[in-house]
A and B are shown apart, each in its own frame.
Chain A
Amino acid sequence: MSDATLERSAAAAPAPIASPRELLPYAIFAAVLMLVLVYFVGAEQGATSLFSGSYVHELVHDARHLLGFPCH
């Protein structure tokens, strides 16, 4: 199977599968969601705080360090 697939896929040039217009609302939603999630893992109760205290910071503390975000 794999040999045949390789030969034929070389013949059929990939064509775009989604128009920018179709992608835009998903892209906006996913970008906002991504920023919120990355913010909570990476920065909440560090440089800025939406919730008081430091529970969020302490819970994701190790992930924050190991994913490379500045901390402490």
Chain B
Amino acid sequence: MARSLLVRGLLAGLAAGLLAFAFAFAFGEPQVQHAIDFEDHLALLRHEPPDPELVSRGVQRTLGLLTGTVLTGIALGGIFSLAFAWAYGRLTRFGPRATAALLALGAYLAVTAVPATKYPPNPPTIGNAGTIDRRTVLYFAMIAISLLAFVAAVRLWRELAPRMGSWNAAIAGGGAFLALIAAAELILPGVHETPGGFPADVLWRFRIASLGTNATLWTAIGLGFGALAERVVARHDPGRAAVAVEA
């Protein structure tokens, strides 16, 4: 059971990694290159020697990017399948495909979109090498806070739903989530390291491309895993088995 779902999660994750690569290559890479050109231009003005290229840009933007998105896709797909195995029949009353889609939407919001409102993705050139330790800790802390707040909000919703009705409980849960996130974002220190003169258009397009890359990854995991897992679920859930046989 867990094994069959895990295998499908890894497969959906692999496919999602490939799609995320395609999206990132088409929409993200041009912005990364603009940012690197800006960095090189600054170095030239300061008469600094250019950084030695350990891995060529050609490899970075193809094989390197592919390695990163595929490994991330497989890792997230695997953990997603286990979260699904727990959530199905417990968290919602929806069928397998809707459960997978909702779970992926929740993951995108909690792991990518909400943390990005405090610590948005940045292209090369932005961010001082000297503050990488601090920025890394803050970034992962914000993801952890967002995930915990999301779990707390879902629990609150489940707790209140029988008494208040599903809609009111969802508004209460969503309100609690927003309050927790707002408090965290007011308390955590900001990171403002964009160098003067960096083109605002490039920054905007890079961030949209980065959100799009993550959205591609989670959409493909949610919909792909839902499609692959439907029959596994039918074999193990008696109610769904009847549905599958009759259909």
Contact = CB atoms under 8 A, between A and B. Distances in A.
Contacts of A8: 242-243, 246-247
A4 B54 contact: no
**What is the size category of the interface that chain B forms with chain A?**
35 or more
B247 A16 contact: no
Contacts of A50: none
Nearest to B2: A26
A25 to B, nearest CB: 8
Contacts of B239: 12-15
B75 to A, nearest CB: 4
Most buried by A among B68, B71, B132: B68
B206 to A, nearest CB: 8
B127 A71 contact: yes
B187 interface: no
Interface stretch (B118-126, B144-152, B155-163): B118-126
B191 to A, nearest CB: 8
Contacts, number: 189
Contacts of A40: 71
Interface string A40-72: 110100110000011100111111111111111
Contacts of A26: 2-3, 6, 82
Contacts of A63: 24, 64-69, 72
Most buried by A among B69, B75, B86, B120: B75
Given A13-B93, A31-B79, A34-B76, A59 B67 contact: yes
Contact of A27 (B60, B82, B125): B82
A19 to B, nearest CB: 9
Nearest to B10: A30
Contacts of A61: 55, 60, 64, 124
Contacts of B69: 63, 66-67
Contacts of A13: 93, 239
Most buried by B among A26, A41, A53, A64: A26
30 contacts: A1-B247, A4-B246, A5-B247, A8-B243, A8-B246, A12-B243, A13-B239, A14-B96, A14-B237, A16-B89, A17-B89, A18-B1, A18-B88, A20-B86, A30-B78, A30-B81, A34-B75, A41-B68, A41-B71, A47-B132, A47-B136, A55-B55, A60-B71, A62-B32, A63-B24, A63-B66, A65-B123, A65-B124, A66-B28, A66-B32
Interface of A: 1, 4-5, 8-9, 12-18, 20, 22-23, 26-27, 30-31, 33-34, 37-38, 40-41, 43, 46-47, 53-55, 58-72
